């Protein structure tokens, strides 16, 4: 049955409903022959079936209903009157229509049901009586006998659609001869599907949401008690609720084909406009997702398809020159994976050259050479999702205005999805969307902060880090609310939820709990008071006024019936991370963002002995490390250290600035400073602080190696001339002009 087209399916449902009405009408007509209303109703029913069957190219059905309609038109208009004979032929016609519909439902085609007999009977009635009652219409009727021949003609070409649908040509005639038996053995379309108001489905969904919550509550309570029976019942409830939830969710599911069915036309028109021939392949069109999501995916998907045709595929000449078939292939693929729906848009076009993307990003000032140098080609490709990025050679009316991909990304992220692009030069490009199955129920982590509970969608959660007071004191370089945690050696900026929300933490034992989150391609740690549990939560929408706070994406009701807010991780990342020390790889936007928030430049404050403190702009600091003093080696007159397979020049800041280190011990505190592929290790005595440098109190009193000094929390801190310091360690560090400009700008911000 899935082979039957959706339109045909709808036609069948509608026709079955109509035929039921027709039966009632015909029976009523026997009691009051000549009722105009009844005749009008019957006429309309047959007329509708005729119109649609003509449109769907069901020739036999059309010819039967056509002559039937003629007869009914006369009866309705009073040009003929009802006789037992007319009733008989009308009933025969209705039977034939049913028979045809049953066969269509079975195999998607009309099979080879012979309709000539019925058509002849009706025509005979028409001719016989029409001649007496109204002689004029004969001329009009004359073409009618044609349909008598048409059925054969119409049946013959049918086998063609048969290939598309169900290949059971042998079985079909058998079914056709005994349709009643066939129908009774299984439910037909009309019996097996009903129309349901979407509102009702939404209400059901809401109730199931409630049930899921109540289940959570009961399962938790049952777990606390030793009652074995209660535990069993709770488990059973758990299973049933889960199944019910899945079932109700299924009712809201629609195949992605709903969206895709519009794309062949888009592709064809666009291909023609661009002078390209494109064949569209669709795999997994039956993949289902929630109807609310379907709507949200529509625009992004259309955009990606347009993009692929416009930019992805080459012109036929270009393709032939590249040794590919002139016709480009665009493949849409959808499948379920790990609780998500994956939708891919692949073209076999020229592919995206990461180098060109890098050039473009550089030219439009989106990234610096230094940043690009740190990125893998795959990462560089993702830059096409940045606002203001377009590689189109020329602006066309289709795409290429530099808006689009970023909007696609925003839209997809808004529904909790992700997007990535893969490309092989010369082979093609694949855009991959990952979309949650439904927005209504999501797995989430519930946490506590300042006595309130919040939910964090699992999709953004990478891991949890729990530090006891002792470890927190050392592992979190935490001062002034601007903290960094070394997560496996890399700096993870920390955001305190209490700070974001402007509330007071009620945790005073010094323990630190970090939820490592990922959003907008950035990683950060959200410091919370407590982790409660992971559970499936039902997302309730918020009023636009609360949404506009940019902190919450929704609300949910927890097991105990209280409302908890769902944190909007994307928005938190955008808000909290603008001036944060970003992780390596995400250093990208730091430079631009610092310009916007220059008064909030982050400085790493280090002690270098003699009570002197030096501030180093944090943005280029990639790591803080402790290394054993014994690993320091000497190359020529310079000290170097082996670090992650590379040789890092070492700069002892105390010597550079004329201080004397007071640090005893056999390890060194090292600040790894990177630009591009080059790094230097700056040795300091201790890391004291990371601060928001927001004071304007600068002094011009400077000395060798410094660009000035500033007051940070009532202490004079010298601001390091990073450039001079680094050049002292590695004279070739700034051989790349772009890095130089970048760092100069940064230093100007710093001082």
Comparing CB distances to other proteins, the nearer of 564 and 750 is 564
Q: Counting contacts by CB under 8 A, is residue 457 touching other proteins?
A: no
The structure tokens 């393709």 sit at 319
CB of 569 to other proteins, least distance (A): 16
- Helices marked H in 506-634: 544-547, 569-576, 590-596
Q: Which of 202, 22, 32, 183 is nearest to 105 (CA)?
A: 183
Residue 207 binds to other proteins (criterion: CB under 8 A):
yes
Whole-number Å distance between alpha carbons of 632 and 625: 14
Q: Identify the H or E element spanning 648.
A: strand 646-652
Q: Judged by CB under 8 A, does residue 562 bind other proteins?
A: yes
Contact yes or no for 123/70 (Cβ under 8 A): no
Is 452 a binder of other proteins (CB under 8 A)? Answer: yes
Q: Which stretch binds other proteins (CB under 8 A): 287-295, 403-411, 543-551, 588-596?
A: 543-551
How near is the Cβ of 493 to other proteins at its closest, in Å? Answer: 21
3-state SS assignment for residue 465: strand
Q: How far is CA 139 from CA 113, 124, 127, in A?
A: 29, 15, 11
- Is-contact 591 656, C-beta < 8 A? no
- Using an 8 Å Cβ cutoff, are 269 and 309 in contact? no
Neighbours of 339 (CB within 10 A): 12
Looking at beta carbons only, is 138 or 563 nearer to other proteins?
563
Residue 362 or 546 with smaller CB distance to other proteins: 546
Return the residue of 133, 200, 466, 563 that touches other proteins, per CB under 8 A. Answer: 563
Residues 497-516 that bind other proteins (CB under 8 A): 501-503
The size of the chain, in residues, is 751
| Dihedral (CA of 201, 203, 209, 210) sign | negative
Residues 310-369 that bind other proteins (CB under 8 A): none
Distance CA 108, CA 159 (A): 10
Burial class (CB in 10 A: 0-12, 13-18, 19+), 597: middle
**Helix 36-55 and helix 6-31: axis angle, to 10°?**
160
Q: Dihedral angle at the C-alpha atoms of 695, 697, 699, 700, nearest 10 degrees?
A: 80
Whose CA is closest to 554, among 544, 538, 543, 540? 540
Closest CB 459 distance from other proteins, rounded Å:
21
Which range of residues in 116-124, 362-370, 547-555, 626-634 is near other proteins by CB under 8 A? Answer: 547-555
Q: Which of residues 208-237 bind other proteins (CB under 8 A)?
A: 209-210, 213
Among 129, 551, 594, 619, which residue interacts with other proteins (rule: CB under 8 A)? 551
Q: Is 543 in the site for other proteins (CB under 8 A)?
A: yes
Residues with Cβ < 8 Å from 145, sequence gap 6 or more?
Answer: 123
Report the distance separating Cα 217 and Cα 223, nearest Å: 10
Q: How far is the CB of 561 from other proteins (least distance, A)?
A: 5
Q: Is residue 537 within the footprint of other proteins (CB under 8 A)?
A: no
Show contacts with other proteins in window 630-649 (CB under 8 A).
none
Which window, 183-191, 323-331, 347-355, 536-544, contacts other proteins (CB under 8 A)?
A: 536-544
Q: What b/e string do you get for 107-117 counting C-beta neighbours within 10 Å, with b at 16 or more?
A: bbbbbbbebbe
Residue 206 touching other proteins (CB under 8 A):
yes
Q: Which of 342, 546, 571, 716 binds other proteins (CB under 8 A)?
A: 546
- With contact defined as beta carbons under 8 Å apart, do 690 and 604 qualify? yes
Cα separation of 726 and 674, whole Å?
10
Residue 607 CB burial class (10 angstroms; 0-12, 13-18, ≥19) = buried
Size of the site for other proteins (CB under 8 A): 26
555 touches other proteins by CB under 8 A? yes
Check binding of 526 to other proteins (CB under 8 A). no
- Please calculate the CA angle 19-24-26 and round it to the nearest 5 degrees: 90
429 in Cβ contact with 352 (< 8 Å) = yes
Shortest spacing between CB 551 and other proteins, in angstroms:
6
Residue 283 or 549: the one with the smaller Cβ distance to other proteins is 549
Residues 536, 559: Cα–Cα separation, whole Å = 10
Rounded Cα distance, 602 and 593, in Å: 12
Strands of 428-436's sheet in order across? 278-283, 328-337, 340-347, 428-436, 418-424
Q: Which stretch binds other proteins (CB under 8 A): 22-30, 373-381, 549-557, 641-649?
A: 549-557
Span of 24-32, 207-215, 328-336, 651-659 interacting with other proteins by CB under 8 A: 207-215
Q: What is the smallest separation between the CB atom of 452 and other proteins, expressed in angstroms?
A: 6
Q: How far apart are CA 602 and CA 295, in angstroms?
A: 43
Of 154-162, 401-409, 517-525, 561-569, the window that binds other proteins (rule: CB under 8 A) is 561-569
Looking at the Cβ atoms of 14 and 499, the one nearer to other proteins is: 499
Say whether residue 58 binds other proteins (CB under 8 A).
Answer: no
| 109 or 438: CB nearest other proteins | 438
Q: For other proteins, give the closer residue by CB, 381 or 444.
A: 444
Per CB under 8 A, does 203 bind other proteins? no
Q: Judged by CB under 8 A, does residue 530 bind other proteins?
A: no
Q: Quick one: 329 or 500, whose CB is closer to other proteins?
A: 500
Of 174, 240, 283, 549, the one binding other proteins by CB under 8 A: 549
CB-nearer residue toward other proteins: 561 or 636:
561
Residue 230 or residue 546: which is nearer to other proteins going by CB?
Answer: 546
Task: Name which of 403 and 571 has its Cβ closer to other proteins.
Answer: 571
Q: Is 552 in the site for other proteins (CB under 8 A)?
A: yes
Cβ distance to other proteins smaller for residue 15 or 498:
498
SS3 578: coil
> How far apart are CB 243 and other proteins at their closest, in Å?
20
Examine residue 542 and tell whether it contacts other proteins (CB under 8 A): yes
Among 13, 80, 557, 687, binds other proteins (CB under 8 A): 557
Q: How far is the CB of 241 from other proteins (least distance, A)?
A: 15
603 touches other proteins by CB under 8 A: no
547 binds other proteins (CB under 8 A): no
Binding segment toward other proteins, per CB under 8 A, in 72-80, 376-384, 559-567, 690-698: 559-567
Binds other proteins by CB under 8 A, chosen from 135, 143, 338, 561 = 561
Name the nearest CA neighbour of 311 among 395, 436, 239. Answer: 395
Q: Is 340 or 556 the residue whose CB approaches other proteins more closely?
A: 556
The nearer residue to other proteins, 48 or 214, going by C-beta atoms, is: 214
* CB-neighbour burial class of residue 343 (10 A; exposed 0-12, middle 13-18, buried 19+): buried
Asked if residue 202 binds other proteins (CB under 8 A), the reply is no
> CB under 8 Å to 484, separation ≥6 — which residues?
476, 477, 478, 491, 492, 493, 494, 581, 624, 690
- Interface ranges with other proteins (CB under 8 A): 206-207, 209-210, 213, 452-453, 501-503, 540, 542-543, 545-546, 549, 551-552, 555-557, 561-565
């Amino acid at each position: 049955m899935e082979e039957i087209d959706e339109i045909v399916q709808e036609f069948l449902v509608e026709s079955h409903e109509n035929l039921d009405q027709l039966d009632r009408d015909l029976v009523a007509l026997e009691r009051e022959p000549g009722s105009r209303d009844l005749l009008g109703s019957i006429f309309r029913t047959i007329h509708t079936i005729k119109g649609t069957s003509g449109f769907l190219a069901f020739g036999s059905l059309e010819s039967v209903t056509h002559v039937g309609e003629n007869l009914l038109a006369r009866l309705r208009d009073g040009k003929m009157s009802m006789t037992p004979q007319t009733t008989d032929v009308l009933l025969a016609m209705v039977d034939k229509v049913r028979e045809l519909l049953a066969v269509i439902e079975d195999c998607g085609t009309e099979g080879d049901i012979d309709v000539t007999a019925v058509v002849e009977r009706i025509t005979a009635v028409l001719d016989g009586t029409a001649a007496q009652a109204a002689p004029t219409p004969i001329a009009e009727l004359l073409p009618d006998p044609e349909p008598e021949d048409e059925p054969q003609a119409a049946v013959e070409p049918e086998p063609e659609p048969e290939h598309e649908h169900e290949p059971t040509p042998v079985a079909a005639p058998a079914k056709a001869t005994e349709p009643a038996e066939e129908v009774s053995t299984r439910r037909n379309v009309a019996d097996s599907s009903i129309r349901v108001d979407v509102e009702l489905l939404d209400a059901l969904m809401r109730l199931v949401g409630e049930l899921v919550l109540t289940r959570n509550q009961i399962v938790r309570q049952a777990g606390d008690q030793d009652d074995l029976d209660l535990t069993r019942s709770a488990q059973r409830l758990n299973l049933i609720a889960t199944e019910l939830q899945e079932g109700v969710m299924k009712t809201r599911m629609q195949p992605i084909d709903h969206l895709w069915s519009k794309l062949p036309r888009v592709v064809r028109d666009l291909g023609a406009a661009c002078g390209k021939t494109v064949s569209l392949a669709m795999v997994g069109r039956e993949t289902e997702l929630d109807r609310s999501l379907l709507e949200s995916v529509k625009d992004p998907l259309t955009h990606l398809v347009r993009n692929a045709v416009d930019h992805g595929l080459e012109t036929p000449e270009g393709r032939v020159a590249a040794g590919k078939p002139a016709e480009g292939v665009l493949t849409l693929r959808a499948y379920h994976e790990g609780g998500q729906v994956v939708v891919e848009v692949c073209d076999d076009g020229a592919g995206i050259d990461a180098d060109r993307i890098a050039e473009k990003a550089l030219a439009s000032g989106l990234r610096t050479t230094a940043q690009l140098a740190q990125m893998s080609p795959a990462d560089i490709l993702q830059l096409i999702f940045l606002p203001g990025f377009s590689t189109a050679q020329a602006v066309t009316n289709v795409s290429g205005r530099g808006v689009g991909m970023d909007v696609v990304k925003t839209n997809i992220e808004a529904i909790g999805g992700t997007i990535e692009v893969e490309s092989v030069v010369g082979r093609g490009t694949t855009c991959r969307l990952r979309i949650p199955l439904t927005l209504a129920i999501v797995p989430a982590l519930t946490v506590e902060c300042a006595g309130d509970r919040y939910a964090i969608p699992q999709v953004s959660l990478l891991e949890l880090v729990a530090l006891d007071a002792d470890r927190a004191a050392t592992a979190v370089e935490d001062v002034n609310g601007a903290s960094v945690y070394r997560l496996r050696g890399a700096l993870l900026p920390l955001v305190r939820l209490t700070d974001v929300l402007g509330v007071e933490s009620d945790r005073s034992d010094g323990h630190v709990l970090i939820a490592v989150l990922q959003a907008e391609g950035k990683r950060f740690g959200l410091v919370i008071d407590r982790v409660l549990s992971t559970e499936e939560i039902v997302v309730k929408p918020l009023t636009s006024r609360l949404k506009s706070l940019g902190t919450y994406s929704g609300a949910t009701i927890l097991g105990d019936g209280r409302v908890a807010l769902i944190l909007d991780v994307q928005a938190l990342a955008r808000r909290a991370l603008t001036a944060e020390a970003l992780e390596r790889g995400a250093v990208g936007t730091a430079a631009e963002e610092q310009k916007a928030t220059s008064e909030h430049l982050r400085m790493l404050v280090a002690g270098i002995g003699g009570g002197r403190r030096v501030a180093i702009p944090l943005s280029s600091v990639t790591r803080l490390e402790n290394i054993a003093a014994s690993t320091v080696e000497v190359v020529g007159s310079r000290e170097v250290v082996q670090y992650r397979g590379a040789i890092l020049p070492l700069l002892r800041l105390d010597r550079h600035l004329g201080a004397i280190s007071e640090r005893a011990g056999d390890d060194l505190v090292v600040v790894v400073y990177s630009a591009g592929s080059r790094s230097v290790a700056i040795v300091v005595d201790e890391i004291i602080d990371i601060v928001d440098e927001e004071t304007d109190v600068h002094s011009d009193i400077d000395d060798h190696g410094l660009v000035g000094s500033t007051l940070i929390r009532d202490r004079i801190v010298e601001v390091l001339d990073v450039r001079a310091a680094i050049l002292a360690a590695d004279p070739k560090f700034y051989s790349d002009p772009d890095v130089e400009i970048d760092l100069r700008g940064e230093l100007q911000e710093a001082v």
